[in-house]
Amino acid sequence: MLMAAYSHIPHPSDSERLRNYLPRNPIHTPSYYPQTQPAHNDTVEFFQRLSTEALFFIFYYMEGTKAQYLAAKALKKQSWRFHTKYMMWFQRHDEPRTITDEYEQGTYIYFDYEKWGQRRKEGFTFEYRYLEDRDLN
């Protein structure tokens, strides 16, 4: 019975939340490739050293993980702001032309997750009610 159980031993993903995009797929890699992740790769400092594109990838493809949280934190530190209606990250391209209590208007750089690249938008109105402003600590 034990040997039978051994032939379908639990998989690492069995006790993890479902990963929709990047499921675990353990395979044997040669020993001269890194077998473990670098130390301290779960700190904001580490995430801040990653490219913005890597951070966007983590944000959209690793939902509900600590990595997603750290990526969001690193993006915020680099003055990106999340738009909760468009579900995209925006960064001011220059000083907004108008700033009121409800919105700001100007030129922005944003990351389009469907076309997978940065785009520029002129005369965009960022309504503050769509600004995600939770304190990530």
Partner 1 sequence: PGSPSGPTSMMQSGINQAKDTNDPPGLHEKTEYLLREWVQLYHNPGIARDYNRQAFTQFVNQMSQQGILKSDELITRFFRLCTQLCVDVTYSTLKNFSTNAALVRAQCFKTLDAYVRLIVLLVKLSGEANNPATKINLLNKVLGIVAGVLMSDHDSKGKEFQQLPFHRIFIMLFIELNAPEHILEAMNFQVLTAFVNTYRILRPARYPGFAFAWLELISHRAFIGRMLQLTAQQRGWNMYAQILIDLFKFLAPFLRNADLNRAMQVLYKGTLRVLLVLLHDFPEFLCDYHYAFCDVIPPNCIQMRNLILSAFPRNMRLPDPFTPNLKVDMLTEIAHAPKIMTNVAAMIQPESFRKDLESYLKSRSPSTFLTELRSKLQITNDPGNRYNIPLMNALVLHVGTQAIQNLQLKGMSPNTSTITQTSHMEIFQNLSLDLDTEGRYLFLNAIANQLRFPNSHTHYFSCALLSLFADAHSVALQEQITRVLLERLIVNRPHPWGLLVTFIELIRNQVYKFWGHDFVHCSPEIARLFETVAKSCNQNRS
What single DSSP character describes residue 93?
S
Buried b (16+ CB within 10 A) or exposed e, 23-62: eeeeeeeeeeeeeeeeeeeeeeeebeebebeebbbbbbeb
> Which of 19/92 has CB closer to partner 1?
19
Residue closer to partner 1 (CB basis): 13 or 43? 13
- Size of residue set near partner 1 by CB under 8 A: 20
Per-residue binder mask for partner 1 (CB under 8 A), 11-30, x = binder: x-xxx-xxxx--xxx-----
Q: Does 137 bind partner 1 (CB under 8 A)?
A: no
Mask for 64-103, x = binds partner 1 (CB under 8 A): ----------------------------------------
Residue 39 is a binding residue for partner 1 (CB under 8 A):
no
Residue owning tokens 């700001």: 104
- Pick one of 2, 28, 66, 115: the residue that binds partner 1 (CB under 8 A): 2
Compute the distance between CA of residue 94 and CA of residue 88 in angstroms, rounded to an integer: 18
Name the residue nearer to partner 1 (CB basis): 54 or 87: 87
Question: Residue 1 and residue 73: Cα distance in Å, rounded?
Answer: 48
Of 119, 45, 43, the residue nearest 83 (C-alpha): 119
CA geometry: angle 76, 65, 67, nearest 5 deg: 50
Residues that bind partner 1 (CB under 8 A): 1-6, 8-11, 13-15, 17-20, 23-25
